[in-house]
A and B are shown apart, each in its own frame.
Chain A
Amino acid sequence: MFTLLEVKTDFCSEYIDESVMQEIKDFMGEEGESTIRELIAIYLANTPPMIARIKNDLLENDLESLKAHIHSLKGSSASVGIVGISKTCKMIEELIKIGKIDEISKQFEQIESIYAQVEMDLRERL
Chain B
Amino acid sequence: MTHEKDHILIVEDSEITLYKVKAVLIRLGYDVTAFDNPIKAMEWIKTVIEVPDLIISDVSMPGMDGYEFIHQLKNDEKTKDIPIILLTSHVDIRDKIQGLEAGADDYLGKTVGVAELELRVKALLARKHADDSTITEISARSISVFSLRGGVGVSSIAVNLAEAISKLWGIETCLWDMAMGVGQCALMMNLKPVSTIASISDWAEATLDDSTLSNMLLRHSSGVLLMPAPVSIEELELVTTRTIDLAWSGVASLAPYLVIDTGSHLTDQTLAILERSDIILLVISPDLASVNAAYQAIKVFNDIGFPPGKVQVILNQISPVASFTREQISESLKKSILVEIPYDGKNMIKAINQGTPYLEIAPKSDTSMAIAALAYRISSSQMEPKMADHSEPTLDLIRKQLRGKLS
Contact = CB atoms under 8 A, between A and B. Distances in A.
A74 B110 CA distance: 10
Contacts of B113: 20, 23
B23 A76 contact: no
A71 B88 CA distance: 10
Q: In the complex, which range does the number of interface residues on chain B fall in?
A: 10 to 19
A58 interface: no
Contacts of B111: 20, 78-79, 86
A71 B110 contact: no
Contacts of A88: none
Q: Which of A27, A39, A79, A80 has the most CB of B within 10 A?
A: A79
A35 B60 CA distance: 25
B348 to A, nearest CB: 42
Nearest to B117: A27
Given A20-B111, A23-B114, A71-B60, A28 B27 contact: yes
B20 A24 contact: yes
Interface in A84-104: 86, 93
Interface string B106-117: 000011011100
A68 B23 contact: no
B350 to A, nearest CB: 45
A75 B19 contact: no
Interface in A20-45: 20, 23-24, 27-29, 31, 35, 38-39, 42-43
Interface stretch (B9-17, B67-75, B302-310, B362-370): B9-17
Contact of B16 (A27, A71, A76): A76
A61 B111 CA distance: 29
Contacts of B110: 75, 78-79
Contacts of B23: 24, 28, 31, 35
B89 A74 contact: yes
A72 B90 CA distance: 11
A46 B89 contact: no
B114 A75 contact: no
Nearest to A19: B113
Contact of B60 (A46, A68, A78): A68
Contacts of A46: 15-16
B87 to A, nearest CB: 9
A110 B24 CA distance: 32
Interface in B71-116: 89-90, 110-111, 113-115
Interface string B43-80: 00000000000000000100000000000000000000
A78 B168 CA distance: 51
Given A24-B20, A78-B89, A72 B14 contact: yes
Interface of B: 13-17, 19-20, 23-24, 27, 60, 89-90, 110-111, 113-115
6 contacts: A27-B114, A28-B27, A42-B16, A72-B60, A79-B111, A86-B111
